Amino acid sequence: MNSFIMESTEKKSRVPARLDFLQSGTGLILGLFMWVHMLLICSIILGKGSFNFVAKTMELAFLSDNGQGFPIAVFFAVFIIFTLFIIHALLGVRKFPISWKQHRIIVDQMQMMKHQDTNLWYIQVFTGFIMFFAGSVHLYTMLTNPGSIGPYMSADRIVSGNMWPLYIILLICVELHATIGIYRLCMKWGWFAGKDARKSRAKLKTLKNRLTIFFLSIGILALLVFVVIGIKHKDRAGERYDNHAAAEHVQADDKALETNILEEEIAIEKITIENPSREIEKIISEEINDSHDKIPAPEAEHDWEIKQPADTTHEVQ
């Protein structure tokens, strides 16, 4: 009895609250990052060119003279996100039910309360646990291959590199975790509460569900587009889009040139067929001109004579 009273008079530590604040802060940044990240990834739906443009812009290619990007920029971005990811996970572990007994209590409570937000919390724990592994694999891959982001390189990683199962699991986990997380932050810190808290809560919940469906749908669509590109590109896996685009460009130029020559030949042929006489005239005049060019001009003839040294030996006796 005495020790309990002793404890309750001790000043409560602010550390847990500060850790909660830090967890909310890192969660908010990662959640907003994920929405932007997914919109950028989904540029592949608009075509290889637009994804390549996004990838180059993320590599700050607009700062270089030759349009080549700086993968180091992506490396630092991944490094910062990976650090936030690890801090957020570390802070999140504090809330995990670490014993079977704790787990039992939560499940019993969920079944008893049938309270949606409590269920959402359980989804957070479960998706967070999966992302410890799936998210780390993805982030480590990006950290060690910052220059390998592009329509073909990404598609090859997903298909030829067999990353697609990981991306499906990670996509479902991160989109659920990010939207539920931001919804819970609004509830926890009273953001957008408005005059009628109950009403704004219902509105925020609807928005949360719609955002989850939106990001899951575009994420799955983008993954399907990557898979189609990756299957078509299997025999040239590892080829960069830029080189391929450049090669295609040269080919197109060659083709255009060939077509031009062909068109010209057809045109000449057409003229020949339509106006044989004129043609013949033309050939003749060209011939004449040619022959004219070959006949040295009379002066020149005379010049030649002058130039010849007089052959004194042969003078007629």
Residues engaged in binding ligand HEM (CB under 6 A): 37, 41, 74, 77-78, 81, 85, 131, 135, 138-139, 142, 149, 154, 157-158, 163, 167, 170-171, 174, 219, 222-223
Burial 248-286 (b: 16+ CB within 10 A, else e): eeeeeeeeeeeeeeeeeeeeeeeeeeeeeeeeeeeeeee
**To the nearest whole angstrom, how small is the minimum distance from the Cβ of residue 80 to ligand HEM?**
7
**To the nearest whole angstrom, how small is the minimum distance from the Cβ of residue 79 to ligand HEM?**
8
**To the nearest whole angstrom, how small is the minimum distance from the Cβ of residue 187 to ligand HEM?**
22
Distance CA 154, CA 146 (A): 11
**To the nearest whole angstrom, how small is the minimum distance from the Cβ of residue 89 to ligand HEM?**
10
Q: Is 72 in contact with 143 (CB distance < 8 Å)?
A: no
Q: Is 34 in contact with 213 (CB distance < 8 Å)?
A: no
Q: Is 150 in contact with 233 (CB distance < 8 Å)?
A: no
**Complex with ligand HEM: residue 224 or 283, whichever CB lies closer:** 224
**To the nearest whole angstrom, how small is the minimum distance from the Cβ of residue 186 to ligand HEM?**
21
- Residue 6 main-chain phi, psi, to 5 deg: -60, -50
**Complex with ligand HEM: residue 37 or 240, whichever CB lies closer:** 37
- Tell me the three state secondary structure of residue 70: coil
**Complex with ligand HEM: residue 27 or 120, whichever CB lies closer:** 27
The pair of structure tokens assigned to 275 is 């106006």
**Complex with ligand HEM: residue 63 or 295, whichever CB lies closer:** 63
Distance CA 248, CA 236 (A): 14
**To the nearest whole angstrom, how small is the minimum distance from the Cβ of residue 208 to ligand HEM?**
18
- Closest C-alpha among 203, 155, 159, 156 to residue 183: 203
Largest CA distance in the chain: 159
Q: Is 157 in contact with 69 (CB distance < 8 Å)?
A: no
**To the nearest whole angstrom, how small is the minimum distance from the Cβ of residue 243 to ligand HEM?**
17
**Complex with ligand HEM: residue 156 or 208, whichever CB lies closer:** 156
**Complex with ligand HEM: residue 149 or 180, whichever CB lies closer:** 149
Residue nearest to ligand HEM (CB): 154
**Complex with ligand HEM: residue 69 or 135, whichever CB lies closer:** 135
Distance CA 146, CA 39 (A): 19
Q: Is 180 in contact with 207 (CB distance < 8 Å)?
A: no
**To the nearest whole angstrom, how small is the minimum distance from the Cβ of residue 188 to ligand HEM?**
21
**Complex with ligand HEM: residue 157 or 208, whichever CB lies closer:** 157
